[in-house]
Structure 1
Amino acid sequence: MSRTTRLQDLIRVLRHHTGPIGGPELAERLGITLRTLYQDIAALRAVGVEVVNAPGQGYVLPPEVVLPPAALAEPAPREPAELTFYTNPLSRGGIVHWMLEELGVPYRTVILEYGTTMKSAEYLALNPMGKVPAIRHGDVVVTEAAAICAYLADAFPEAGLAPPPAARGDYYRWLFFAAGPLESVISLNTLGVQPTAEQQRQIGCGDYWAVLDTLAGVLDGRGHIAGTAFSAADVYVGSHLGWGMHFGTIPRRPEFEAYWAALKDRPARLRCEAYVERALSLQA
């Protein structure tokens, strides 16, 4: 089936469907993969056909949208930018791995070893810290797991892993709350460092229990950290809570357990978990 035919079928289904339709259902109706669906939606948007992704509901083609003739033209082939993922199975790279699997886009994985290839001149040219994770998307290099998650959500909007720009207050707030205060107080507490009240004002992350109370309060009764739909912020916050409760660096509070229970069985995360288990079995 040519892309022109697929785009025609996509527009036809959206035009005749009442209300939003989820990505998996839409792909099934069209007889294509989710990855192909995302690519076709991106092709329509590129020529001005704004297929709207309603968070938590699905895709819809507003009735006022006028289809330009170019929308159904066969686009010239364009090589997508290569996406390379630098990681180690026993690292925070697991957060980005989960994010990549949620996107459903092709990527190449490069495994780096601590103390050797992670400190090589080639990798230090990408990340002078000599740490993972990192990604290279075409000519763009991004390090730091939270920044990578935010970048990927924007670079691949078809996956719907970021709220619309006007609704990103909670998304940015809690994504970077976890990257800043949460990770800092967990690290300090794990190392046995208990800052005094004066020191808490200096380091910025505050008190361990105050941070956990704050996070528990926002998660109480909520399935997602930013609005009603799963997002990159859930990948990041969920990863920290899941790991923290597993390794004992975060207490098993009811709010944390309920939130993690709603995330831990997502197919993308389970694929990452299976990957880590295989990697560890090879090292045994």
Structure 2
Amino acid sequence: MSRKTRLHELLQVMRQYEGRIAGPSLAEALGISIRTLYQDIAALRAVGIDIASEPGVGYVLAPGQFLPPLAISDEELEALVTGLERLGENSLDPLAMPAKSLLESVRQVLPDARQQPATPSTEASIQQDVGDQGAPLVFYTNPLSRGGIVHWMLEELGVSYRMVTVEYGPAMKTPEFLAINPMGKVPVLCHGDVVITESAAICAYLADAFPEAGLAPPPAERGDYYRWLFFAAGPMESALGLYSLGVQPTAEQSMRLGCGAYSAVMDTLASTLQGRRYLVGDRFSAADIYVGSHIGWGMQFGTLPARPEFQAYWAGLCERPAQQQCQAFVAEALAHAR
């Protein structure tokens, strides 16, 4: 049974109960595991279905939670999907983005909704089967988190996605969210049935899932791409984390750490960026998004020195329209938090 079919059956079973139904009972009625139930509840909430829950008591579906596509014929569904696709392709139409968002919702909850074919890869030396391009993208984040890296990546791709803001604290520790990411943290990206966590992994995945955006170089040119993407995800982030906590490992301790000494990491990064606009030749890539994000944040919050190499590199990235849009999102979140 596909996930979309399960979501239909889940809603149908919940409509049969006037009060709350316990999670184990609901999972048993559907013939699925409790973990799968948590994931399906989270998927429905992500597309706007109002399902309330109370620990130890169960779930209840709010009145009036119906999915209109369930009541239409196959021909009407075909017309709806075709119309939404055409409207979404017109970037000048103010309804283009709402059309794309609605189309994602239809595809997520309706088993037979027509899917857009994935663009086949022309690179024989790398496996590009990383998910259906027509599948919905659901992005779980918090404005004040590393999710900002993935947000920038998504905006650079120019693809349609649904953002779900998760508050710090209990919201990240609910059974539903832990079923998606047992670490109980953001960001998380769900691409259809594929779940990806860790910012660097999400950026690398998205670059391969949407190759037409050109955010990953050809396989033969990926040496620097992989090197610096994961240098930032490993040694650089570890060194910055230790520094921000006031931890200063001794020379002997630095030898035992994967990141080595903070000074060595900074010198390595600075020498790499000297005189370079991008990390991979003359092209902007997902590696620049990940490394650039850490440099921008690091200089802003004082965990990374404002060396000339860092300032020049960040100056070439921070004015990109996608980055500016993400900064506006963070600024708005900060304004509401005051």
TM-score exceeds 0.5: yes
**203-212 or 274-283: bigger deviation:** 274-283
CA 1:44–1:240: 2 relative to 1, 3 Å: closer
Where 1:80 maps in the other structure, the secondary structure is coil
**1:135 aligns to 2:135 (yes or no):** no
**1:228 alignment partner in structure 2:** 282
Alignment of 1:3-18 (within 5 A): none
Where 2:281 maps in the other structure, the secondary structure is coil
Q: Deviations over 1:227-272 (max 9, x none)?
A: 2100000000000000000111100000000000000000000000
Percent identity reads 66
Alignment of 1:27-42 (within 5 A): 33=91
Alignment of 1:163-178 (within 5 A): 163-178=217-232
1:44 and 1:190 map into 2 onto residues whose CA distance is: 43
Q: Deviations over 1:86-137 (max 9, x none)?
A: 0000100000000000000000001001112111111100110001101000
Where 1:198 maps in the other structure, the secondary structure is helix
Aligned to 2:296, which of 227, 242, 246?
Answer: 242
Give structure 1 regions of 4+ aligned residues with deviation exceeding 3 angstroms.
31-35, 42-46
**1:268 alignment partner in structure 2:** 322
**1:87 aligns to 2:87 (yes or no):** no
**1:182 alignment partner in structure 2:** 236
- Determine which structure has greater relative contact order: mean sequence separation of CA pairs < 8 Å that are 6+ residues apart, divided by chain length: 1
Q: Deviations over 1:159-206 (max 9, x none)?
A: 000000110000000000001101111111111111112211212210
Return the offset for 1:32.
6.2
TM-score normalised by the chain length of structure 1? 0.73
**1:125 aligns to 2:168 (yes or no):** no
Return the offset for 1:283.
2.1
2:238 and 2:161 map into 1 onto residues whose CA distance is: 30
1:204 and 1:197 map into 2 onto residues whose CA distance is: 13
Aligned residues: 220
Aligned to 1:193, which of 247, 269, 282?
Answer: 247
**1:257 aligns to 2:311 (yes or no):** yes
TM-score normalised by the chain length of structure 2? 0.62
**1:216 alignment partner in structure 2:** 270
Quick check: which has more Rg, 1 or 2? 2
Aligned to 1:206, which of 234, 250, 260?
Answer: 260
Please tell me the residue identity of whatever aligns with 1:232.
A
CA 1:204–1:44: 2 relative to 1, 3 Å: closer
CA 1:134–1:79: 2 relative to 1, 3 Å: closer
1:45 and 1:280 map into 2 onto residues whose CA distance is: 39
CA 1:32–1:202: 2 relative to 1, 3 Å: same
- Contact 2:216-2:286 at 8 Å conserved across structures: yes
- Contact 2:181-2:188 at 8 Å conserved across structures: yes
1:209 and 1:260 map into 2 onto residues whose CA distance is: 20
CA 1:32–1:228: 2 relative to 1, 3 Å: farther
1:246 and 1:282 map into 2 onto residues whose CA distance is: 20
CA 1:251–1:108: 2 relative to 1, 3 Å: same
Aligned to 1:99, which of 153, 164, 172?
Answer: 153
Return the offset for 1:33.
4.7
Q: Deviations over 1:26-60 (max 9, x none)?
A: xxxxx96599xxxxxx97954x9x69xxxxxxxxx
- Contact 2:135-2:192 at 8 Å conserved across structures: yes
**1:154 alignment partner in structure 2:** 208
1:97 and 1:279 map into 2 onto residues whose CA distance is: 14
